[in-house]
Structure 1
Amino acid sequence: MEKLTITTPSDVLSFIGHTLGFWPQESLVCITMNENSIGATLRIDLPRQPGQELPYARTVAHYLTSDTTATSILFAVYTSETTHPGQTKPHAGTIAALTGVLAEQGITIRDGLFVGDTTFSPYDGEPGTSIALPVSSTQTSAINAEFIYRGSYIQATDRITLPTTSEARTKANAVGKHMETISSQQSDTALEQGRKLWADMLDSTEFPGDDDCHALVANLQFPAIRDRLIADIPGVDEPMQHILFAQTETAPKWSRIEWAQQVLLHAYTRTSPEHAAPVLTAIGYINWWEGRGSKAHQFLQLALDTDPAYRLARLSDQMIGYGIVAGWNMNKNTAYRALPFDMP
């Protein structure tokens, strides 16, 4: 793949939007760098209460130092708060604290951007000067054009909208019949058949029919089968526990993972609320693998909305809340959508 070069602030913001998949709001975004090569991208909500600057900075630094090759970072503050000449920028205390904490780790801040609702400018620039550029200029940047050419797009927010589903009772009965069949089988036979069904779906280029969707959802109701099916998604032949926690030596097949998410969303529309929690949890897991912690949290919360006692969703959400990062995202060669970019 041809290496691309980010040369302008508009390129930086386009890269952030496409990497995250949405335009951040009230957020701090940091990009790690090793010399001129881009590493990981982190988005985190800006602190809402004064006096939390140092703890917040330490949390951000903890995430950033997961990239052990990082020597510097770029950052962008996205906020609707306005700036005025002669006054400090919003969240200046947070940036100052982050600068100090990162310096202790041998990481410098290379540059920063202040992104408002309609314009953006260098974070250390004077408010109201002519160096401010319209946010709309990102739409004509070279990097934005390249991402769009590759099929990427930026959503307005990261808020999840699930596809609609209906005829819950009929779908629940269909899933229930498959569950009865699975329960009547020997555990090894049930697992083998469930994996074969799932593998055929992942190898196909077409969405499965309703009956196969009902069978998939039924298999996901059994924890031992569910865990194995989730581990089968990345297409990696390594121990299951290594795959589930994204700690494999082999890079995952991201196109296969993306297709699995689409199939699971398709299956979700063929099920009922009483059987939806495992499906939504599996999708949450995929988003965690991809480094989309906020979306993973939303899917896991949706799973818990359908079944408040669903243990895997609760434990997975706690894991994300503790700040545990999927191992694949600590290596730019295995991270989701790792594209070859350089900075001048």
Structure 2
Amino acid sequence: MTRSPAAAIRSAEDLLAYIPFGLGHWPRESLVVLADAGGQAGGLLRLDLPARCTASTGGQLGRYVQSVLAPGAPSGVFVVVYTSARPRTGSGLPVLVHRLVRTLERQGVGVRDCLYVGDEGWGHVDAARPDAPWGRRRPLDDIAASVLNAELVFAGRAWGPEPTPVVLPAPSGPDAEAIRSRTAAHAVRAHPDPPDPAWARTVVAAWEDTLVVAGRQPDGRGLRVPVPLDPDAAGLLLAGLRSRTLRDLLLFQSAVGPSPVISDLLLDTGLREAKLREAVRTEVRGRDAGPRDPAPPGAADGDPAGHRTPAERCRQAPVDRDAFLRAGGVPLLASVITGSVALVPDWARLDAAYRTLEALAPHADGQVRCATLTLLGWIEFARGRGSRAHHLLDAALREDSGYELARLFDRFLDLGQVHEWARHPSTAWHGGHPDAA
């Protein structure tokens, strides 16, 4: 689920114009739910249409949508179906949509409007009657001519192609050979794992310097140039990613900011192996048990008494972050990975980390390529962009089907998990690239 800067929805055409900007692409064979935040666009959730459209599937989807949107407490939602098929009244997709809408309304989520978009036009859906024909088609040109579409285009917004399987380009440029040579020279320091603490801190310092470069904006409209790579720094970072400990350390410090506490916790062999891995596995076992029943109306997910969840509380950042990290220890760090998190994300750092990993990935191979693709996939998971995360994790698993962290994140996606950051307006990613509003 993604959250984007507020946009006023004045008409059905505005609604349909906004969705591809919010998602970053035009959806295909999808169910899209947009939260109404008092006349502004709120959280945006896209799901693949199921292979078999039945009433029971519609009920399951309705309960899932309500559980994902519950922390944001939307005043209502818009439901939009994108399909190239011609739905037959009284069966299939109309029945699914009818049950989905009924389920949402029973859960206290009002449906403001229900629409469909096909290859030849769009129209309204009378979701109250599964046997009612789907509304008269209107031309797709109406969407392009909407007021909101013009405003977004004028503001420099854009959306790109649908996410596709990831194919990394071959390393190129005058520094490609130098990066390969420096990676090999530094790689001998990556083992044993955890590596020597002094060398590990050298890698972390190089990472911090690179994030500063990657975070620079050449202008005020969100356009960015490729991250320049210093061959020695790039070789050091790629060698560091051979170590699982350093990989995890860079992930955590990209998300929550530099802290010696994270280094101290992860560079201790006993702590990392005995506690971090067990904390993550405990969370995964809990999720493998199956989806929890949605919380009752007025209660936050996972808190039936109605108290705030950790993600809701994290809008008040602790005064002493290092003391907070030290008190929480490894289980708190593990919550960043699994999505049951009580830390405020630093999205500027994570966006810079993403662009750095994008620049490093073509120069990586084997386990290091798995690491770069897996971390890119995790950042997309944390952003709430499951389709992009799925393609990146697939690419990592094509390199090594047994790569543990990629399999873990892929399992989260298979279970329909949404990272806690993406579920709360105060912690969600609000874009940062030209292809995502």
Same fold by TM-score, threshold 0.5 exceeded?
yes
SS at 1:77 equivalent: strand
Say whether 1:312 aligns with 2:316: no
> CA separation in 1, counterparts of 2:5 and 2:373?
36
SS at 1:183 equivalent: coil
Alpha-carbon shift at residue 25 of structure 1 (Å): 0.4
Range 280-289 or range 147-156, more displaced? 147-156
Q: Deviations over 1:228-280 (max 9, x none)?
A: 10112234455533433445555433333223212111101222245310000
> CA separation in 2, counterparts of 1:157 and 1:147?
19
TM-score by length of 1: 0.85
1:156-235 equivalences under 5 Å are 156-166=161-171, 174-183=182-191, 187-204=196-213, 205=216, 206-235=227-256
Relative to structure 1, the CA distance from residue 31 to residue 192 in structure 2 (aligned partners, 3 Å threshold; closer, same or farther) is same
TM-score by length of 2: 0.68
Aligned to 1:152: 157
CA contact (8 A) 1:89 1:123 kept: no
Aligned to 1:74: 78
Relative to structure 1, the CA distance from residue 227 to residue 103 in structure 2 (aligned partners, 3 Å threshold; closer, same or farther) is same
SS at 1:133 equivalent: coil
Alpha-carbon shift at residue 140 of structure 1 (Å): 3.5
Relative to structure 1, the CA distance from residue 186 to residue 128 in structure 2 (aligned partners, 3 Å threshold; closer, same or farther) is closer
Aligned residues: 334
CA contact (8 A) 1:31 1:75 kept: yes
Structure 1 stretches of 4+ moved >6 Å: 167-171
Q: Show structure 1 runs of 5+ residues with no match.
A: 340-344
SS at 1:33 equivalent: strand
Q: Show structure 2 runs of 5+ residues with no match.
A: 127-131, 217-226, 258-320, 326-331, 433-437
> CA separation in 1, counterparts of 2:419 and 2:171?
34
> CA separation in 1, counterparts of 2:119 and 2:336?
40
Please point out which of 121, 139, 142 is paired with 1:137.
Answer: 142
Alpha-carbon shift at residue 170 of structure 1 (Å): 8.4
Please point out which of 10, 21, 34 is paired with 2:13.
Answer: 10
SS at 1:269 equivalent: helix
SS at 1:234 equivalent: helix
Give the residue type in structure 1 aligned to 2:169: T
> CA separation in 2, counterparts of 1:128 and 1:36?
24
% identity of equivalent residues: 25
SS at 1:7 equivalent: coil
Give the residue type in structure 1 aligned to 2:199: A
CA contact (8 A) 1:210 1:270 kept: no
Give the residue type in structure 1 aligned to 2:383: E
Range 146-155 or range 160-169, more displaced? 160-169
> CA separation in 2, counterparts of 1:252 and 1:241?
14
Relative to structure 1, the CA distance from residue 189 to residue 268 in structure 2 (aligned partners, 3 Å threshold; closer, same or farther) is same
CA contact (8 A) 1:171 1:270 kept: yes
